[in-house]
Amino acid sequence: MSNFLAEMLGTMILVILGCGVNAGIALKKTFANGGGWLMGAIGWGLAVMIAIYSVGQISGAHINPAVTVGLAVAGEFDWSHVPTYIAGQMIGAIIGATLVYFQYLPHWKETDDAATKLGVFSTSPAVKHTPANLISEIIGTAILVLGLLAIGANSFADGLNPLIVGLLITSIGISLGGTTGYAINPARDLGPRIAHAILPIAGKGDSDWSYAWLPVVGPVIGGVVGAVVYITLW
């Protein structure tokens, strides 16, 4: 139960800070409006870092089903705990996205574009091309899991690992994220997309369920690829 709650809390923190920076950049009449891609990438990197510092010593702070599956494939995590971790991550993501809705409550009606509002919660492709979009998510998540395993194999000063992981996320966002918005995390995308669908957001459109499978399937495949590459080479 402690691991479930830790993954729920950690993913909630990830999403409220990550989708929170999305909202600040995208929604009208926020002081952060127009902050740009670099601000978003840094914000997501910091969100991951804070989430890991918060719950890492309890559950290991996977905060991502693709990471959980990847670590299990690499033999670094017990398969029997995978469902519990993923359940916590999904619930935490929905809660985090709901808190973002309330944080920016007056700004939804000030923003006209429905796609912009959806973009606060979940990802979409810059150019819609299903095979290429899937490949982008696979590559990004493979780098994530490979990077996490490699970071774990190195020795750092106590308490430094979460910072390094946050920098890894920032690097992925800056270098690879411009194609699909780098979900690289099924819970981070699907949980907020569910919240978008059920919350009474002023002027929202549909939740683009035709695309929703891709930021779930792509990261899971990518997590497995990253784990296989790691265990093959190391």
Quote the pLDDT of residue 230: 96
Give the lowest-confidence range in 82-86, 154-158, 176-180, 200-204: 154-158
Q: For residue 234, is pLDDT > 90?
A: no
Q: For residue 156, is pLDDT > 90?
A: no
Closest listed residue to residue 199, CA positions, set 187, 207, 190: 207
CB count within 10 Å of CB 221 equals 18
Taking a C-beta distance cutoff of 8 angstroms, is the pair 222, 133 a contact?
no
Quote the pLDDT of residue 1: 83
Only one residue has tokens 């790691």, namely 230
Share of the chain above pLDDT 70, in %: 100
Q: For residue 168, is pLDDT > 90?
A: yes
Quote the pLDDT of residue 147: 96
Distance CA 36, CA 52 (A): 25
Quote the pLDDT of residue 153: 85
What digits encode the pLDDT tens for the residues 131-152?
999 999 999 999 999 999 999 8
pTM: 0.96
Taking a C-beta distance cutoff of 8 angstroms, is the pair 92, 15 a contact?
yes
Q: CB within 8 A of 65, min separation 6: which ones?
A: 85, 86, 89, 90, 185, 186, 187, 219, 220, 223
Q: What's the average model confidence in pLDDT over 29-54?
A: 98
Distance CA 218, CA 135 (A): 7
Q: What domains sit in the chain, N to C, each tagged with a CATH number?
A: 2-233 (1.20.1080.10)
